[in-house]
Amino acid sequence: ARVERLPSGSFTVGRSGKVLVSTLPHTFPEARLQEIGKLALDAFQRAREAKLPLTELHVHYAGLKLTIRDQRGGAMIFLAPVR
């Protein structure tokens, strides 16, 4: 099995979850970006429905940190490896 570095960069998704722009390596799977984006959009939508003023999420994994910002329907997502 090949060990790969965790990605570093950002991407933006539109209202539909489609990736609009990305600074991540082209080797990072597009399907994974869309999956992350749709989950982020769903979290912001649920917060709006619950009337919670959520504009930013921080998700910390053992080796990866995600910062997700609401963009009036879309989202901007930053991925950074934890060192």
| Per-residue pLDDT in tens (0 to 9) along the chain, 83 residues | 666 677 899 999 999 989 999 999 988 888 999 999 999 999 999 999 999 999 999 999 988 999 999 998 899 999 999 87
Q: Is the pTM of this model over 0.85?
A: yes
Strand order across the beta sheet in which 19-22 lies? 19-22, 9-13, 74-81, 64-71, 56-60
Burial label for 2, CB within 10 Å (0-12, 13-18, 19+), is: exposed
CA atoms of 73 and 15, how far apart (whole Å): 5
